[in-house]
Structure 1
Amino acid sequence: MRRVFFPAAAFLLSFWFIGCASENHDGLIQDVINLMAKATTEMGNINARVKDAIKATTEKQEPFDLKEAIEATTSLKETGASAQKLKGRIEPIRKEIADSDKEALAKKYKDRLTKAFRDLADQRDELRQTLKNAEKLGLAAKREVVKLRTKLTEAESPFEALARQ
């Protein structure tokens, strides 16, 4: 997950610092911050569902099932698609911004963008740790985690595509 989100987030940050300033530019930067917050929330939702599955298995002796967590990856994938659309809105505008405006915008939004990125990275790391804990529950749990990781990779694919562009 780290290999996807760090490049994607760095890519998105470069757009915000380099090229947004009024429609819009302030609005576009805020859209980026909101999008990152949404992705953070979605990662948190997936993490919560994994924790619920762990709890159900350890406390209630239920079979380990990550179906709800797997279903929750759909929202993350949709957010990635939204990020691609946002990039499409930012790209034509960023070339028109004066260097002084870019610097002013970078200064104005740096802290909020950094916090949004840090929150996303922290949530991703927490999910990774939760998945490691889930794998300790046995072979069936490992199989479920593999399924979830596959879905997470699919959900992250729009972000990965952004990082490659």
Structure 2
Amino acid sequence: MADTSSGVEDPMNGESVSDSEEFDNLRGILADGVVGAAGGLVGTAMMTVVFLIAQSLGAFDLADFAILTELVGLTGYVPEVLFGFFIFLGGGMFPWPLLFAALKEYLPGRTDPVSGAFFGAAMWTGFVLAFYTGQTGLSLVLYAVLTLVAHVVYGMGLGAVFNYFATRPDSIV
């Protein structure tokens, strides 16, 4: 008689799965969120250093973060550049790390930092268009190159934090 089993254990067939063995428990989800936020914070901090270098070369102006404040309609009510940077930081700490966590198995690269570099490069395609403020000539080339470097650095920092916590013996990630 042929074996018709799928080779997959069914926990509903009398085998109980304890909370510590379950992959998607609340503790694990919260831990993954904290790791993602930490990775996003590290990546955004590293990215900001590259932005400061770009600003010193005249290729990028941190005042461009005021665009984000304008998008949420708070121009004139809050310090525009600072609030815009905090919106940018929030994006770097929450939605982008969650997307990276969901996609990292499908990204090129054998390690999380390398996969993160590809992820950052993909994110750059939207950033370079959204924050373009009329640069021309050498300034435009520097803008494109340095913002790409900033995003690759962001992705590498994000991936490095994910890699660090994934290799810890007591980590859930």
- After TM superposition, the score normalised by the length of structure 1 is 0.29
Whichever structure has more helix as a proportion of its residues is: 1
The structure number with the bigger radius of gyration is 2
The structure whose RCO (Cα within 8 Å, separation 6+) is larger is 1
